[in-house]
Amino acid sequence: MMAEAERIIRVLVAKPGLDGHDRGAKVIARALRDAGMEVVYTGIRQTPRMIVETALQEDVDVIGLSILSGAHMELFPEIILGLRENGMEDVLLVAGGIIPLEDHPELQEMGMRGIFGPGASTQDIVSFIRESVGARPVG
């Protein structure tokens, strides 16, 4: 664990779409920060383009998307496409909120690596990010 901690993981926590339910996003942003990561939180009502641009500017290792409105199947693919167009397919993508199980396979196929629903613990999310980023080649 110490070896991984030498490199600070940069995370973008973003809220795509129009829903204002930001309790989960803010709690997770803080938990990741407390776990030693550098966290940029976008705030609510972000378009896919805004999220991709922020991810580029901030040069993040991880993007966490939080959405509860049900628009994820429209908005996530746009974000993933935007990342690809900018050569950011290495970025670890995770999502949370209300994302029905039946949508998980399609999202995973698109490159969503972790999907954390209601009841997920922040410690599990921290561990998942550490392990997944640690396993990736570092640029």
Partner 1 sequence: MASSDKEQWRRRTLDPALKARAQRRDEFVTDSGLEVDTAYADDDLSDGGFDHKQDLGNPGEYPFTRGVQPTMYRGRLWTMRQYSGYATAEESNRRYRYLLEQGQTGLSVAFDLPTQIGYDSDHPLARGEVGKVGVPICHLEDMETLLEGIPLDKVSTSMTINATASVLLCLYAAVAKKRGVPLSKISGTLQNDILKEYIARGTYIYPPKPSMRLVVDVFKYCSAHIPRWNTISVSGYHMREAGATAVQELAFTFANAIEYVQSAVDAGLDVDEFAGRVSFFFVSHNNIFEEAAKFRAARRMWAKIMKERFRAQNPRSMRLRFHTQTAGVTLTAQQPDNNVVRTTLQALAAVLGGTQSLHVNSRDEALSLPSEESVQISLRTQQILAHETGIADVVDPLGGSYYVEDLTRRLEEGAWEYIRRIDDMGGAVDSLEQGFQMGEIHQAAFQHQMEVESGRRTIVGVNKYKSEDAPTGGLLKVDEEAARQQTARLERVRGERDGAAASAALARLEEVARSDENTVEAILECVENYCTLGEICDVFRGVFGEQRELAGL
Judged by CB, which is closer to partner 1: 119, or 137? 119
Give exposure, 113-132, as e/b (b: 16+ Cβ within 10 Å).
Answer: ebbbeeeeebeebbebbbeb
Judged by CB, which is closer to partner 1: 29, or 83? 29
Q: Minimum CB separation from partner 1 for residue 129, in Å?
A: 16
Residue 129 backbone dihedrals phi, psi, to 5 degrees: -65, -45
Q: Minimum CB separation from partner 1 for residue 118, in Å?
A: 4
The CA–CA distances, whole Å, from 18 to 25, 55, 96, 117 equal 14, 19, 15, 19
Judged by CB, which is closer to partner 1: 43, or 136? 43
- Interface contacts to partner 1, rule CB under 8 A: 17-23, 26-27, 29-31, 39, 41, 43-45, 47, 69-75, 98, 100-102, 117-119, 121-123
Judged by CB, which is closer to partner 1: 6, or 65? 65
Q: In what order do the strands lie in the sheet with 38-41?
A: 38-41, 10-14, 62-67, 92-97, 114-116
Q: Minimum CB separation from partner 1 for residue 3, in Å?
A: 25
